[in-house]
Chains A and B, each alone.
Chain A
Amino acid sequence: MQEIRRKYVVPGDRIIDGNFRPLFNVIRAGNSIISTRIGIAEAGREGVKVIPLSGIYIPRVNDIVIGKIMHHSSLSWDVDINSCFSAHLPAQDVFGRDFSPARDDMGRELATGDLITARIIAFDRTRDPMVTIQDKDLGKVPRGEFIKISATRVPRLIGKRGSMIQTIEQATHTRVLIGQNGIIVVTGRNSEGIKLAVRAIRMVEEEAHTPNLTQRVKTLLNVSDSAPADTSQLAQPQIAPQNEESQPTIQEVEEELEVEKGEKAP
Chain B
Amino acid sequence: MTQTRSLIDENGKRTDGRTGDQLREIKITVGVIKNADGSAFIEFGMNKIVAAVYGPREVHPKHMALPDRCVLRCRYHMTPFSTDTRKNPAPSRREVEISKVMREALEPSLMLEDYPRAAIDVYVEVLQADGGSRCAGITAASVALADAGINMRDIVSACAAGKVDDRIVLDINDTEDKEGDADMPVAYMPHLEQVTLLQLDGVLNEDQFNQCLDEAVKGCKMVYEVQRKALMQKYFGNETELKEEQ
Q: Are A55 and B118 in contact (CB under 8 A)?
A: no
- When distances are taken between beta carbons in the complex, the residues of chain B under 8 Å from A56 are 37, 55-57, 148-149
Closest to A40 in B: B242
Which residues of B, 147-199, contact A by the 8 Å Cβ criterion? 147-155, 189-192
Given contacts A10-B155, A84-B58, A126-B116, 6 further A-B contacts (CB under 8 A): A8-B240, A14-B191, A36-B153, A39-B235, A56-B37, A84-B115
Instruction: Give the number of residue pairs across the A-B interface with Cβ within 8 Å.
Output: 104
A126 CA to B113 CA, complexed, in Å: 12
Let me know if A20 is at the binding interface, CB within 8 A. Answer: no
Closest partner residue, chain A, to B228 (CB atom) = A10
Residue of B115, B119, B192, B236 with highest tally of chain A CB at under 10 A: B236
Q: How far is B191's CA from A36's CA once the two chains are assembled, in angstroms?
A: 12
Interface size for chain B: under 10, 10 to 19, 20 to 34, or 35 or more residues?
A: 35 or more
Q: Does A13 contact B (CB under 8 A)?
A: yes
Q: How far is the CB of B145 from chain A (nearest CB, A)?
A: 8
In the complex, chain A residues 208-262 whose Cβ is within 8 Å of any chain B Cβ: 209-210, 256-257, 260
Bound-state CA distance A145–B111 (Å) is 36
Q: Across the interface, do B242 and A11 meet the contact criterion of CB distance under 8 Å? A: no
Q: Is B232 an interface residue (CB 8 A)?
A: yes
Interface residues of A in 1-40 (CB under 8 A from B): 3-8, 10-14, 25, 27, 29, 34, 36-40
What is B's interface to A at a CB cutoff of 8 Å? Answer: 37-38, 55-58, 67, 109, 111, 115-119, 146-155, 189-192, 228, 231-232, 235-237, 239-245
Q: How far is the CB of A50 from chain B (nearest CB, A)?
A: 10
Nearest chain B CB to A229 CB, angstrom units: 32
> How near does chain B come to A248, taking the closest CB pair, in angstroms?
15
Min CB distance A56 to B, Å, is: 6
14 contacting pairs across A/B (C-beta < 8 A): A7-B241, A7-B242, A8-B241, A11-B151, A12-B189, A12-B192, A34-B153, A36-B111, A36-B151, A36-B152, A52-B149, A53-B149, A84-B56, A85-B118
Q: Complex formed: what's the CA distance from A36 to B240 in Å?
A: 18
**Cross-interface CB contact of A84 among B57, B153, B235, B239, cutoff 8 Å:** B57
B149 close to A12 (CB less than 8 A)? no
Main secondary structure of the interface of A (DSSP, over half): loop
CB distance from A55 to the nearest CB of B (A): 3
**Cβ–Cβ contact A6 & B236, under 8 A:** no
> Would you call A103 an interface residue if the criterion is a C-beta within 8 Å of the partner chain's C-beta atoms?
no
Residues of A within 8 A of B241 (CB): 7-8
A5 to B109, CA, bound (A): 26
Q: What A residues does B57 contact at CB under 8 A? A: 56, 84
- A152 close to chain B: CB less than 8 A: yes
Contact (Cβ within 8 A) B153 A11: yes
Chain B residues whose CB sits within 8 angstroms of the CB of A27 once the complex forms: 111, 153
Interface assignment of A170: CB less than 8 Å from any CB of chain B: no
How many angstroms from the CA of A155 to the CA of B226 in the assembled complex? 31
Q: In the complex the two chains form, is B147's CB within 8 Å of A54's CB? A: yes
Query: For A34, what are the chain B residues with a Cβ–Cβ distance below 8 Å?
Result: 153-154, 191
B242: chain A residues at CB < 8 Å are 6-8, 40, 257
Are A55 and B189 in contact, with the CB atoms below 8 A?
A: no
- Which chain B residues border A37 with CB–CB below 8 Å? 146, 149, 151-152
Q: Tell me if A125 is interfacial: C-beta within 8 Å of chain B.
A: yes
The list of the 4 closest CB pairs from A to B, nearest first, reads A55-B149, A12-B154, A54-B149, A11-B152
Residue numbers in B under 8 Å from A29 (CB-CB): 153, 191-192
